[in-house]
Amino acid sequence: MVPAANGPRPTIWAYLRIGPEDGERIFGLIRSIHCFPWDCNGGRPVDAKPDEERPKWIDNA
């Protein structure tokens, strides 16, 4: 990683190299992050709107 600016809190640039073989693992991690709040806290994220429903893609993925 390389600082991209000077100052008290410089911006840091990070470079990632992601290949096609990483796609399934990345999707699984993103899915689990989105599932967690729907499966805990009474089944709803704390920031969910009153009429917000659980996304269908969570259960269909």
4-58 tens-digit pLDDT: 566 677 777 888 899 999 999 998 898 888 888 888 767 888 898 999 998 888 8
Is 22 within a domain? no
**Angle at Cα 28 formed by Cα 56 and Cα 31, nearest 5°?**
35
Is 1 within a domain? no
What's the domain range around 60? 29-45+54-61
Is 58 within a domain? yes
Q: How many CA atoms lie within 13 A of 61 on its CB side?
A: 14
Domain count, the chain: 1
Which phi-psi region, left, alpha or beta, contains residue 15 (left: φ > 0; alpha: ψ -120 to 50)? beta
Q: What is the pTM of this model?
A: 0.55
Is 17 within a domain? no
